[in-house]
Structures are given as C-alpha cells and as structure tokens.
C-alpha cells in the first residue's frame, strides 16, 4: 500500500557540506547538474569522494569525468526522527547507500517517493537538489 508522496521541505534551511580544495570541482559540477567522479590514471579505479590520492593504489593523478547518473540501492533506512528542526518537515525520509553504475557507493536521500515504496536493489537516477548556492546529489526511483 502506497501513501501519498511526502512534501519536500524547503531545501534552503538544510545544512550544506563545506567544500574544500579537493571537493570544489565536484560541487561546481553538481551545481551544473553533473555528478563528477575521478578515474585514477595509474589503475583505473573510480574515486569518490574527491581526494588527493587513489584509495586503491595511492596514485596521485586522476581524470575527472561525468558519471552516468544511474545506480542501485544497496541498502537504506527510513529516518523518522529529524536530527534538527530543518529536517523535521521532511521526516520520515529515506537515507540510502547507492551503488553508482561506475562503482562508488554514495550516501544520499531518495526523494519524491513514499518511504514504503523503496526496496533494496531498485534502480535510481541521480538528481540534484538546490540548497542555496550549492546542489546535492540525491536519488529518485526510476
């Protein structure tokens, strides 16, 4: 049984991640609607989050590329208790680990669907939720 899709709270009140020198290009691409990953030039491992060295081989050079924007829900939880007043209007909301088609696993919200409609293994597409001057990658069911 499906409930009505919850109303999305104003995103401007929600917390923002602090960009740094290694992640600024990622956040710039996100604001433009692209999910930016990096492929290690030494071993081809795909890196996320943005960082100075490859977690697979320690190499320090990589080529950024735009991800396909698709993934699969590895697991998820439904949060009923808002951690701050800004999240209260969103509760209950879905926090998921999404395996991107390119390999990295990202934590994000699954938005625009009722919590009881989400299942492990579902295909999602990455969308970008504007928050102030930034945009966060989030997932929607396909």
Q: Which residues are at the interface with Zn ion (CB under 5 A)?
A: 40, 42-43, 45, 54, 56-57, 59
What CA–CA distance (Å, rounded) separates 22 from 80?
33
- Termini Cα distance of the chain: 19
Whole-number minimum distance, CB 55 to Zn ion, in Å? Answer: 8
Whole-number minimum distance, CB 78 to Zn ion, in Å? Answer: 36
Instruction: Identify which of residues 8 and 61 has a Cβ nearer to Zn ion in the complex.
Output: 61
Alpha helix stretches (DSSP H) within 51-136: 85-88
What CA–CA distance (Å, rounded) separates 77 from 1?
18
Whole-number minimum distance, CB 27 to Zn ion, in Å? Answer: 23
Instruction: Identify which of residues 42 and 142 has a Cβ nearer to Zn ion in the complex.
Output: 42
Instruction: Identify which of residues 54 and 111 has a Cβ nearer to Zn ion in the complex.
Output: 54
What CA–CA distance (Å, rounded) separates 24 from 9?
26
Whole-number minimum distance, CB 40 to Zn ion, in Å? Answer: 3
């Amino acid at each position: 049984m499906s409930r009505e899709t919850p109303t999305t709270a104003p995103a401007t009140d929600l917390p923002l991640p602090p960009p740094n020198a290694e992640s600024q290009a990622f956040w710039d691409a996100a604001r433009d609607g692209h999910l930016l990953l990096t492929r290690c030039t030494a071993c081809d491992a795909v890196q996320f989050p943005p960082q100075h060295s490859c977690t697979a081989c320690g190499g320090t050079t990589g080529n950024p590329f735009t991800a396909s924007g698709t993934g699969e829900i590895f697991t998820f939880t439904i949060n009923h208790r808002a951690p701050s007043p800004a999240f209260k209007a969103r509760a209950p909301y879905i926090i998921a680990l999404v395996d991107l088609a390119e390999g990295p696993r990202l934590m994000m919200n699954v938005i625009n669907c009722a919590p009881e409609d989400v299942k492990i293994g579902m295909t999602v597409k990455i969308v970008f939720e504007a928050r102030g001057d930034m945009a966060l990658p989030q997932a929607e069911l396909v």
